[in-house]
Amino acid sequence: MRIGSDEHKQRFCGQFIASHRQFDPAILPWPDLDDAALGRLRGIPFWQEVLYTERRAGAIVAAYAATIADPLMREAVSLQGFEEARHAELLRVMIHRYRIAADEPPLDEPINSDLRRAFVDFGYGECVDAFFGFGMFKIARRSGFLPEPLFEIFDMLMHEETRHIVFFINWMAWQQTARGYGARWLRAAIAAWYYSRAIGRLLGTLWCVRDANDRRDFSATQASVLLNGSHFRGFVQQCCAEHARRMAGFDYDLLLPRLLPTVAGVVLAGRRLPPSVA
Ligand SMILES: [Fe+2]
Ligand SMILES: [Fe+2]
């Protein structure tokens, strides 16, 4: 199968559409939580930020989908927009059920009027968020930070994000080829540029969350523990391992996001070198 071909498009759109799952966030098996678990859930400082991100994601993806002429591609991107909006709804249900302090400020951050460009920026942002989110999710789950039934619900969301980034990486290569930017080195250079923008945005968000956390005087959270330098190596290892595990379930003919695990692998290998070599 040639990347950028019609067969490629049929394959990655077809897999994405066929793997969509129907569920209603309101009737998922939300567990009852004791006071300790409720305290830990409410103490996580980024629910409002995550809800905002999912609401904005739904708006960006739906707006871009409406501009697509190709019926199959429009169906696939519209489906992603639906899933992003459902992520926001799932968070709303959780926030309401467990009485978590999180507002819904208006989506006043302007969306790039070039909707294709907005979708590209959003897609690389998802690749970065998913890579680090995989590791954080695994560590939090293994530590029993919250009851397992909650992790099972959020695993559905993580699986959908995995499908989104696989779809995005293939869409990106497919449409770059159609526009004459299909050479591997060029795709890699463009990806590196977008990844660096996405990492910059993630660092900005973490900075805002940290500031808000300080202002609200929350106790130390799992996130801040993960970001502690002494845990960083194990955290990145978990990100790589979880990324590989979650990607293993996809059609081996499709492209998969590789840049972040590759860079992380190089960094981890470098840190294993003895001081005299490093
Ligand atoms: Fe999402
Ligand atoms: Fe997504």
DSSP letters, 128-191, are HHHHHHHHHHHHHHHTTSS-HHHHHHHHHHHHHHHHHHHHHHHHHHHHHHHTT---HHHHHHHH
The answer to whether residues 170 and 255 touch, using CB atoms and an 8 Å cutoff, is yes
Alpha carbon of 171 to ligand 2 centroid (Å): 14
Q: Choose between 139 and 110: higher pLDDT.
A: 139
Alpha carbon of 244 to ligand 2 centroid (Å): 18
Alpha carbon of 276 to ligand 2 centroid (Å): 43
* Ligand that comes closest to the CA of residue 157: 1
Proportion of the chain above pLDDT 90, given as a percent? 60
Alpha carbon of 274 to ligand 2 centroid (Å): 40
pLDDT at residue 176 tops 60: yes
Q: Choose between 273 and 261: higher pLDDT.
A: 261
40-95 tens-digit pLDDT: 999 888 899 899 999 999 999 999 999 999 999 999 999 999 999 999 999 999 99
Instruction: Tell me the C-alpha distance between 198 and 263, whole Å.
Output: 15
Q: Does residue 59 sit in helix, strand or coil? A: helix
Stated pTM of the model: 0.88
12-31 tens-digit pLDDT: 999 999 999 999 999 999 99
pLDDT for 169 equals 96
